[in-house]
Structure 1
Amino acid sequence: MRLWQNAGLATDQNGNLLPHSPRDLMESQNLSGFEEDKKSNELTWILGKIANYITAGDALVPTDNTLPRHQRPRIGLNQEHILEKWNILMDDLEKWHESLPVSFRGTARTTRLGDAPPGFELSFDTFEQIWFDLPLCAATMQSYHQAKILLLANEPQESTAIRSTVSARLRAYRHALHEVIYHAREVCGISLANSTDSFRINSVQALFVAGQVFQERREQDAVLELLSGIERDFGWTTRYHVAKLNDEWMKGREGNHVDRDGHGHESNWFISTSSS
């Protein structure tokens, strides 16, 4: 933490973000990109905390998860304790989002038109294009949507000992599903509109996370084309991500009831958000 603080990240002793108060406010306002850099660094800090939360799981000692299954301790953290940590992270992320300056708002949303690349079934109007004035802001917002997907997909449930109903739990699942689809589509929409080299290279992990959300073929193909284009144009390998996504999607097709919509595209009744 000390290293981050020395680099300019304003946190308290518990790692919580603090409002930044530079000594010379007028001077800081004249520094081009100062606020954008600060907010981007803050999100990187939050993403690190999210990664630690996910990898720790319910183990009393995080390294226990690296042991073979039969050697792991049978005692873990209380579910309510894990949920409390999740709520803190979600609150941190939303407070960060609410504090963003106007430069982090998309300047326009458009529809990209054109033909699908050979071998793909996508149409370029699968997602809206989301434009930003600054590549840094585009990359940061894409990481924000990635963070939301990771948190929503890893939300712990209240203990079964606490009175709840089947309908209440299913409502929570449906809400989380609706939210992750929205954020996954935002990730792809930002990629479609922002084509700078640095942005595209930094978008690989966000696209990989977003791709795991989709079950419709057109959306899956869009992610594959975005990832494959990065390796084709820059030599930055994405073939692992492509292979892993294809493997995950195949498991989904084998394990879920999948039918076809009126246009002949594969769709899942529980996942699909398109209107019939």
Structure 2
Amino acid sequence: MMSFIKSRSLLYLALILLTGLIACDKESEKEVLEPKFESFTLRPEFNSGLNEVVVGDRSGIEIKLTVPYNVSLNNLVVSFNYVGVKVEVNGVEQISNVTANDFSQPVTYTVFGINSEPREYTVTITKKLPQLPQVYVEVEGRQEYRDDEKETYKKITLKVMDPDNLYTSTTEFNAIGEMKGRGNSTWYGVPKKPYRIKLDEKSSLLSMSTDKNWALLANFYDKTLLRNLTAFEISKIVEMPWTPKSVSVDYYLKIEFEIGRQKNVFCEWHFIIFLVDMPLFSAPENHF
């Protein structure tokens, strides 16, 4: 009898051990999916102001992106691929190409996996520094102005770019007209010359008044590039009449010139310069 009981006890013990081993095997067979982002981008088709895809720079659990200055951070839609079962921000499930978030402050994304701890990513989106408007002038024949050609009008094509829409809602403006030199000591013998532009049709440039006559002030002798701008601002503050409006721009003059024996070299002279609205007027009597 004792032998029978002992045999049954051993049998039960063996069954218990076998059941435990099977349970351990099943536990080890459970799927484990480590959560992570595989890509994180901003696409122009889902975000106004973008002209190209912005790819996130991923470093560990930090993701950083930089967008143009004119792009609002308040309502950006992210496109992402991930490993896991879902992605959330503050408990709200995120859908790639659909869900918008406010990125004026860093945003924490949580990726959930299977049988693993969720992973949190901190996403920071910043703006690039604003770009100055750009003025491109191409002279007919692409000939450089000589000192003795100050009063000679030459036909030009003009392109004004405002890439970050600092002054206008349109990024590009094109026109044709004429251009000659201006100034005296600021014209002769200096590599950076001022010009007077006369457009064929009245136009508003960079939200200044509508006119045909414009000036490009080179400010070659002003190393700060602030003297004229400061004077114009003070004049505007004290409400002096006929204070011209002005905008600082990057100026490109397209010309051809010779270097040694090599001819027809296409070149761009690049300056920071003032584009000034110069309407024609007659001063009233006794006005100085």
Shorter-chain TM-score range: under 0.3
TM-score normalised by length of structure 1: 0.18
Higher strand share: 2
Instruction: For CA contacts below 8 A with separation 6 or more, give which structure has more relative contact order.
Output: 1
TM-score normalised by length of structure 2: 0.17
User: Between Structure 1 and Structure 2, whose CA radius of gyration is higher?
Assistant: 2
